[in-house]
Amino acid sequence: MRMNYLLSVLAVALLTAPAAKAENGEELAKKYNCLACHQVDKKLVGPSYQEVAAKYKGQPDAAAKLSAKIKAGGVGVWGQIPMPPNPTVPDADMNTLVAWILGMAK
């Protein structure tokens, strides 16, 4: 009986995790001022998150590449406007933010 209860709790947690992660990703994008240059569905200063997700779609190391790009910043991937480095974003927040962005791939 206890095992069934634990499995039910785990199932509920797994089913609700993507929604929570998506909400957290958007909140983190606001917190770290990412939305000053990026929007979900249209280019602002930098590419939209949907464009970023499409670029990395299907790449097995997409999360690592995107995390490194966010931390180090750079120029030339999306044009000549530089993206400033964001080295102070904690790894846990970075993982959530990157998962949120990559989750926008169609």
Convert the pLDDT of each residue in 71-91 to its tens digit.
999 898 888 999 999 999 999
Cross-strand partners of 83 = 74
Which pLDDT score is estimated for 30? Answer: 95
Residue labelled with tokens 């909140």: 27
Cβ proximity of 66 and 60 under 8 Å: no
The average pLDDT across 51-67 equals 95
Cβ proximity of 28 and 96 under 8 Å: yes
Phi, psi of 88 (to 5 degrees): -90, 0
- CA atoms of 50 and 95, how far apart (whole Å): 17
Confidence class for position 14, pLDDT limits 50, 70, 90 = very low
User: Residue 86: which of 98, 97, 70, 68 has the closest Cα?
Assistant: 70
pLDDT digits (tens, 9 = 90+) for 25-49: 999 999 999 999 999 999 999 999 9
- CA quadruple 30, 47, 64, 104: dihedral, nearest 10: 70
Q: Which domains does the chain have, with CATH numbers?
A: 18-102 (1.10.760.10)
Cβ proximity of 22 and 101 under 8 Å: no
pLDDT digits (tens, 9 = 90+) for 94-106: 999 999 999 998 8
Say what the pTM is: 0.77
